[in-house]
Amino acid sequence: MPHPHPHPAPTGTAGDERGAIELRGIWKWFGDPSAPVLREISFRIPAGSFVSVIGASGCGKSTMLRMMGDLAQPSRGEVLTGGHPVSQARQAHEIGFVFQAANLCAWRSVRRNVELPLEAMKVGRAERRERALAELDRVGLAAAVNQYPAELSGGMAQRVAIARSLVTEPPIVLMDEPFGALDEITRDRLNLDLHEL
């Protein structure tokens, strides 16, 4: 069973419920209700926290994360963000995702991949460009903005995926083993960079 350890931010996020996320009595089963993957999971993550979920393969981490992002529905129980159902937050583009595979659009440049969520939010062209470039600079990819996904290393592609998830400044970012497919040295470095970000 995954057991989260929230580390509340040192500075005042109290009162800002936007980034808080709460699981209430979550159960999940696939097919057979007598063999649930998750049973009775309840916890609350305060806004401004950085939380890692650790557990053996197959224990239900991805399943839980998907429900926290409204990508799957609990069999029983509910997920709330800022006191509202998590579906509202997802529809309002308030949740960023990063998965094990970068899932970039091969025909779009690095910059235009990062602009994609801003396009979905109808942000104007000049602002899109400016925000995508600023985000790519933050993840150390200023020199690669005009490259295409096929020209990137695995670590660079994951950085693009992270920039894409952060460019809308969502109050919640969910990451499922974002560096799991990379070699150990790159993974360690990106994990450190992620804390900086």
Minimum CB separation of residue 83 from Mg ion in Å reads 28
Q: Does 100 help bind Mg ion (rule: CB under 5 A)?
A: no
Q: Does 147 help bind Mg ion (rule: CB under 5 A)?
A: no
- Number of residues located near ligand ATP, criterion CB under 6 A: 10
Residues 36-65 that bind Mg ion (CB under 5 A): 61-62
**Does an H or E element contain 131, and which?**
helix 125-138
Q: Which two tokens stand for residue 194?
A: 């992620």
| Residues 161, 105 contacting (CB under 8 angstroms) | no
Among 5, 11, 57, 150, binds ligand ATP (CB under 6 A): 57
Minimum CB separation of residue 176 from ligand ATP in Å reads 7
Q: Does 62 help bind ligand ATP (rule: CB under 6 A)?
A: yes
Among 19, 63, 95, 179, binds ligand ATP (CB under 6 A): 63
Q: Does 124 help bind ligand ATP (rule: CB under 6 A)?
A: no
Q: Does 37 help bind ligand ATP (rule: CB under 6 A)?
A: yes
| Residues 172, 94 contacting (CB under 8 angstroms) | yes
User: Which of 64/160 has CB closer to Mg ion?
Assistant: 64
| Residues 154, 189 contacting (CB under 8 angstroms) | no
Name the residue number minimizing CB distance to Mg ion. 62
Minimum CB separation of residue 181 from ligand ATP in Å reads 12
Q: What is the CA radius of gyration of the chain?
A: 17
- Strands 21-28 and 38-45 turn out to be antiparallel
User: Which of 61/111 has CB closer to Mg ion?
Assistant: 61
State how far the Cα of 111 lies from the Cα of 144, in Å rounded to an integer.
8
| Residues 145, 109 contacting (CB under 8 angstroms) | yes
Distance, C-alpha 37 to centroid of its chain:
22
- In terms of DSSP H, where are the helices of 19-109? 61-68, 86-91
Residue 60: contacted member of Mg ion, ligand ATP, none (CB under 5 to 8 Å, by partner type): ligand ATP
Contacts to ligand ATP by CB under 6 A: 30, 37, 55, 57-63
Contacts to Mg ion by CB under 5 A: 61-62
